[in-house]
Structure 1
């Protein structure tokens, strides 16, 4: 098409992103949220929209420089509750669907943390909130830490960030606080009779981060354990009868990389002697999983569990390089059935009713669109056409799927994104995903688009240890990071060079988190790359066990604690080999990253400096672990510009 040009780094701030979507109670209308960048303020704002699929009519519900998030329909479909910053701290507002101004419901000084969640009768709303400002400790004075996990990424010190459950009458009254126990209490769900709230209790003062329990609390604050000291509960829902509860998670003894499964437990819970029953025993890949996208879009992180009736659940499932929707039988024999799976896109379940499903759809070249279908996944209708004009004016890269044979004969999925400009063989960037129990796949990544727009091919590989391929694949690098995963990446790189797609003399490597680990590992073991950009990397497994917020996860990955399997930590740490590095390396580090703290980058930086390797470090003030993906524009812009400039300088010699 005439007048098309490649994607450029500043195009990120011209894109609109889907942030939420909910079906009305009769499934005839959909409310959704869209974020847009405001150049004058250098901020993102979110507004709400309404669409009627039958007539294809759309109208904007909220306006202005505000963040209006998480819209939820009242049971009668007449009111939408949402969280908004229009009054300063986030508060719950109620908006009449028929028209009129939004009414503020909560006035907490500290603001609202999560929710809103309507009661079945529509008379109350549950939500979560932190401590009031006057109850917060003064961190300018000396203080003690007592928690096992005392700080957490994107939250800070946990004593300052705990959440409790509240209920407020829609007619208006002071909210009632239902919990006060030193836990991070989140994701409230009303029981069908409206007498209890189911919720996740996390961040116990004495247990690891990933040991999350499931509790229920009555409206007068009486708690009981549903699933406790069992393992990690990720999400949960009541069945319509109220007799059972469905949840997804892993038992405590599961290896990192093992499948997550769906379980059912009687509503009496562990307090009443009930035990979980697995419902996904025949599933090869389990539940959940997630593809690493590079875009600030909330559906990437939606829980994806919806109950249709007492016998059936819909769940999001990653299968290889795609997100799908599957139907799981809750009663009777094992039943796992794929309902929506696409060869050229991923789908992220947002909502479901007895007649319809609502999901976000993303692909390599399109961020997110909102789609509705019938309950069987047929009669699809796109409800949005976000970014259509901008994308029509950009040259689209092409993506080829690759089947890689690794050194030991194992088949590995990989893809190469080929630029619309230039000729092969292309300068090529190996981009390594995080996790390592994570994956690449058919989902939008702005970094990929930006690099392809600058003339690079981008190679991305689902190495062993990735999610979406079953337990044997996901646990293959247990206590052996840097071995099979390294071999898989090298085999993929050799393949695209042999295919004439990648220029062997113009190679770069990059990645965030465990992708940063892989990047640092690469440059300590090979000199075939001209440039490296590890972001928020893991470089020393011994020290991250103590300073990271998920140290016990490292112990699960390594097969024990450092004093038990010391050599595993030393052998699998990139700092052990950093003195070999001759590759110009730019470390990008969020200064408020508590997942992979700055000392991980600093150790690697110092060793490279001391051994004469070209190295620089970009510091991102106030940025947590994922700040360059979903953080403020100033942080996302800095990462984009630095990544491109470093590759251009050392891969292309510009």
Structure 2
């Protein structure tokens, strides 16, 4: 079962279809006819499907409902429960008697009386008054019973194989981003498990015998800080012994390949099967691969595809097959099945419509940086070039910085290529997929990462004769917005820049955003807040050098971006204008940090139009 999403531009909305694919024949059968639906789940008896939907909720409402469709009968969905503030996750119990949900509970108030941080969170708005409770739902009566008390912040949960217990991770309100582990009995008793190390957990799974838990988490007590990789940990529920299953795997156990063409992810990040043991995704050199590991053995790649990146996966407890989605730099996600012994079968062909267009393949490259490190990159040429001609081009930078470019479909890149631009992009220092040492630029933003990008610029200019060295732009968002700002305050080599959801002043970002108070302290302040180490926060802020900018700059930001708040754009834009720079500020209302990936369709189109227009104005003259 899977979802596929299309855009209804006229109504400015996304339409998602839930469908069932038959692994043997590839036949696709629609379960719903399209709507604001997501996260389908099989009822354990296989005779019905449940899903989350916003049917019946208005544009400004946060609520959602659970619906059920009985297969073989009328496909008209039946609402089984309604949640005024919505749910963030749900799972059927193995017995099919109950559904566990993470329910959002918000105390609305006109005047905000705030006593904890973060005040707000990207994509959610104010969260100081928000709790995420674990609750049990009777799917037949629609009644819910809340398991957690107080105001918890449940991140992820999993049922035990016998359906009697639920293990869940919740953010430590006093020490975010640390998470704590709890085990709840369905009768309401909850026990906290005292872990021997501080972890930032993101998902977990129960062993088939119910005696251990496997947890994906980043250790928070290593010298690498937030540059450390997520690892797989095994917790013995008898002895409470915690053991790392991936100590020698110097790669991140999570998917960090960039793409602007994904739907909503609802699959688990980790699974446990009889055939393959613990299964998880690993980001490696521009691709995400499917790995597995067993106790006492080394982790190994279970499924890796040439020129493709695995995005999500699911498997039954037997592990007889694994279904997954995968994309490439030239195709969005399709559904595949791993049938064992190296056999992979493509199940869906939802993107055949792209065959009508000439989609060019990026040209892969590596170069040796001045300090001896190998840096990976790509150059996407436009589909039509005259022999011997030179085209304008744009150097793109990825966010994170612990993310990576690679085999991820980027519509934005192909749009620019179709408009006659080449697009170049690389994974400089700070990127994921090449080990913790490569990724660790904490306290050194704008140093080795900046050098890698400029040396990549030199390499492309020297080795790709179709790019015009005099007509090159630079663009990026989030960390890449910081880097775009940093670049244009340090060099005039770029004829135009587009900085998006950017960072210009680290001190204000520390206290105005959802993760700034711990992210900035670790990544910029070397573990210290700005009042203890103001010098580094100021030195790493592009705003301080705004008087050096000569590059025409388009500044794009969202009004409700709580990851990099609007003040970052306003500060930088104001400084540019006061220093006589050709600058333009575009603000998108009712959008957050993820505008380029999941914003309202018309806003996404308008954003792309602004970018193309800016580069055509400044690079095609």
Q: With structure 2 as the length reference, what TM-score do the two structures score?
A: 0.94
1:487 corresponds to 2:451: yes
Measured in 2, the distance between the counterparts of 1:239 and 1:205 equals 28
Q: Map 1:145-294 to 2 at 5 A.
A: 145-202=114-171, 204-208=172-176, 210-226=177-193, 230-254=198-222, 255-267=225-237, 274-294=240-260
Measured in 2, the distance between the counterparts of 1:237 and 1:505 equals 53
Measured in 2, the distance between the counterparts of 1:451 and 1:345 equals 22
Partner of 2:556: 588
> What secondary structure does 1:367 align onto?
coil
Cα offset, 1:180, TM superposition: 2.8
Measured in 2, the distance between the counterparts of 1:246 and 1:575 equals 44
> What secondary structure does 2:305 align onto?
coil
Pairing partner for 1:60 from 26, 30, 51: 30
8 A contact 1:83–1:112 mirrored in 2: no
Q: Map 1:208-607 to 2 at 5 A.
A: 208=176, 210-226=177-193, 230-254=198-222, 255-267=225-237, 274-299=240-265, 302-309=267-274, 312-329=277-294, 331=295, 333-353=296-316, 354-376=319-341, 378-389=342-353, 391-423=354-386, 424-475=389-440, 477-499=441-463, 500-551=465-516, 552-558=518-524, 559=526, 560-607=528-575
Give the aligned CA root-mean-square deviation in angstroms: 1.9
Cα offset, 1:644, TM superposition: 0.7
Q: What count of residue pairs does the alignment treat as equivalent? A: 605
Partner of 1:649: 617
Measured in 2, the distance between the counterparts of 1:394 and 1:447 equals 15
Measured in 2, the distance between the counterparts of 1:284 and 1:177 equals 40
Partner of 2:60: none
Partner of 1:4: none
8 A contact 1:530–1:650 mirrored in 2: yes
Moved more, 258-267 or 52-61: 52-61
Measured in 1, the distance between the counterparts of 2:552 and 2:256 equals 31
> What secondary structure does 1:497 align onto?
helix
Q: Deviations over 1:592-639 (max 9, x none)?
A: 011100011111111111111111110010111112211211221121
Q: Closer, same or farther in 2 for the Cα pair 1:310/1:396, shift >3 Å? A: closer
8 A contact 2:311–2:325 mirrored in 1: yes
Measured in 2, the distance between the counterparts of 1:335 and 1:109 equals 44
> What secondary structure does 2:82 align onto?
coil
Partner of 2:96: 122
Measured in 2, the distance between the counterparts of 1:109 and 1:570 equals 45
Q: Closer, same or farther in 2 for the Cα pair 1:581/1:302, shift >3 Å? A: farther
Partner of 1:70: 39
> What secondary structure does 2:458 align onto?
helix
> What secondary structure does 1:519 align onto?
helix
Measured in 1, the distance between the counterparts of 2:194 and 2:568 equals 36
8 A contact 2:268–2:314 mirrored in 1: no
Measured in 2, the distance between the counterparts of 1:608 and 1:227 equals 51
Q: With structure 1 as the length reference, what TM-score do the two structures score?
A: 0.89
Q: Deviations over 1:424-458 (max 9, x none)?
A: 43211010000011110111001101111111111
Q: Deviations over 1:561-591 (max 9, x none)?
A: 2233322212211112221000010110011
By relative contact order (CA 8 Å, sep 6+), the higher-ranking structure is 1
